[in-house]
Structure 1
Amino acid sequence: MSEFAHVPLDADNTPKIATGASARRAAKWFNYGTLVAVLMPLPLAIFWTGMSMLIYALNKHHPNPKVGYYTQLAAYRFYGVAGSAVAVAVFFPPKIIFYLVIWAIAAVILVPWTIYDLYRINHDTWTDSVIEPHVPFNDE
């Protein structure tokens, strides 16, 4: 028999606090990733497409609903432009100039919009969020 009793990590059952600064930082992640991926398209755009799905999933379920809102707006922009670029680029001849043009169009669309979104995030009011402890389901 073990001399240590099993104690869950969250045994204190006290609510946790997600600070407003943490929420603001989380809301910026998707926008920063989009900026880097657009400004350095190969290979970062390809990696960002995969990584952005993780960032979206993490931030969409953040305790502060504003984080999910700003992440969802950034995701709509990025996935819309990326999907349109892929759909159009399928019909391009194998010349680099066509791909550079579609990249420039994507940058013209995404960069100003993303910078404006970062401005909005920085000037929004961010409050602390309370994270309630998990209550297990009792089936009795």
Structure 2
Amino acid sequence: MKVKKVITAAQSRFSAQLFNIASVIATLIPPLLMVWIAISIFVYASIAHHPNPRTAYYNRISGYRFYGAAGTMMVFGQPVYKLFDNWHGLVAVWAILAIVVVPWGLWSIYKAGHEQWQDMTIEVDTNE
């Protein structure tokens, strides 16, 4: 049996902003960063197949940005860390990640917030 379900414009907008919001918060609060890297996989996957293509687009771009910056720091983080030879290296690696994730994440949140979203009606298959 198919049931019609409404996805409101506000729900689509929030889903489009969610990955960016969490990435910015986790980047600004370093102890959350490692936890967010693990949780982000589930958040990304849950939004990746959203029925609204704009929501999936914002999610995909924010995932590219966050995972690209984090992956780059996995490769180049050790040399940057060694360059400073103490805890300053850790701060430098975090700062590079923050410079990439925070400004573009905030811009993406702003952009998604000002886009025209519309309610969607989808059919959900309920197997009883």
Pair in the same fold by TM > 0.5:
yes
What residue identity is the alignment partner of 2:10? A
Instruction: Find the partner of 1:112 among 103, 106, 124.
Output: 103
The question of 1:22 aligning with 2:11 is answered: yes
Instruction: Look up the SS of the partner of 1:133 in the other structure.
Output: strand
Q: Which runs of 5+ in 1 are unaligned?
A: 1-10
Q: Which runs of 5+ in 2 are unaligned?
A: none
CA RMSD of aligned residues (A): 1.6
What residue identity is the alignment partner of 1:124? E
Once superposed, which parts of structure 1, at least 4 consecutive aligned residues long, lie more than 4 Å away? none
Instruction: Find the partner of 1:77 among 65, 84, 99.
Output: 65
Q: 2:120 — aligned with what?
A: 129
- Deviation of 1:132 after TM superposition, in Å, equals 1.2
Q: 1:68 — aligned with what?
A: 56
What residue identity is the alignment partner of 2:94? W
Instruction: Look up the SS of the partner of 1:55 in the other structure.
Output: helix
Instruction: Look up the SS of the partner of 1:22 in the other structure.
Output: helix
What residue identity is the alignment partner of 2:76? V
- Deviation of 1:95 after TM superposition, in Å, equals 1.9
Higher strand content, 1 or 2: 2
CA distance in 1, matches of 2:21, 2:56: 15
Aligned sequence identity (%): 34
User: Residue 3 of structure 2 contacts residue 125 of structure 2 at CA under 8 Å; is this kept in 1?
Assistant: no
User: Residue 63 of structure 1 contacts residue 130 of structure 1 at CA under 8 Å; is this kept in 2?
Assistant: no
CA distance in 2, matches of 1:111, 1:124: 20
- Deviation of 1:36 after TM superposition, in Å, equals 0.9
Higher RCO (C-alpha under 8 Å, 6+ residues apart):
2
- Residues 66-86 of structure 1 deviation map (CA, whole Å, 9 limit, x = unaligned): 111000000000000000111
Instruction: Look up the SS of the partner of 2:66 in the other structure.
Output: helix
Instruction: Find the partner of 2:37 among 33, 40, 49.
Output: 49
What residue identity is the alignment partner of 2:29? M
- Residues 17-49 of structure 1 deviation map (CA, whole Å, 9 limit, x = unaligned): 11111111111110111111110112x110101
CA distance in 1, matches of 2:53, 2:126: 21
